[in-house]
Amino acid sequence: MHEMSVALEVCRIAEARLAHEKLDRLVGVGVVVGDQAGIEPANLQFCLDTLLAQPPFRRATARIERCVGDTLRVDYLEVDE
């Protein structure tokens, strides 16, 4: 299940950004997933929800946006300063 490794990378990106900018808390994360990206959005959502419920994220929410093509990217990180 490579959705878990994608979710782990999204969390790594978020954690690095929080540390680098000395931000307190991640509130939400947006991920864009193309219909040809080879990712099952429901599985990715489950993995992100599971990981974001754990420290250091304290129940941040994930929003997955579908698009056409093979896009896979972190679209935004919403933080509480």
Give the residue among 79, 51, 80, 46 at the shortest CA–CA distance from 64: 46
Q: What is the pLDDT of residue 1?
A: 59
Residue 67 belongs to a domain with what CATH number?
A: 3.30.2320.50
Total number of domains in the chain: 1
pLDDT at residue 76 tops 90: yes
CA distance 62 to 46: 9
Query: In this predicted model, which residue has the larger pLDDT, 62 or 56?
Result: 62
Give residue 11's domain range: 2-80
Fill in the DSSP letter of residue 24.
-
pLDDT digits (tens, 9 = 90+) for 25-53: 899 999 999 999 999 999 999 999 999 99
Count the neighbouring beta carbons within 10 Å of the beta carbon of residue 26.
22
Query: In this predicted model, which residue has the larger pLDDT, 1 or 33?
Result: 33
CA distance 46 to 27: 17
Fill in the DSSP letter of residue 52.
H
| SS3 label, residue 48 | helix
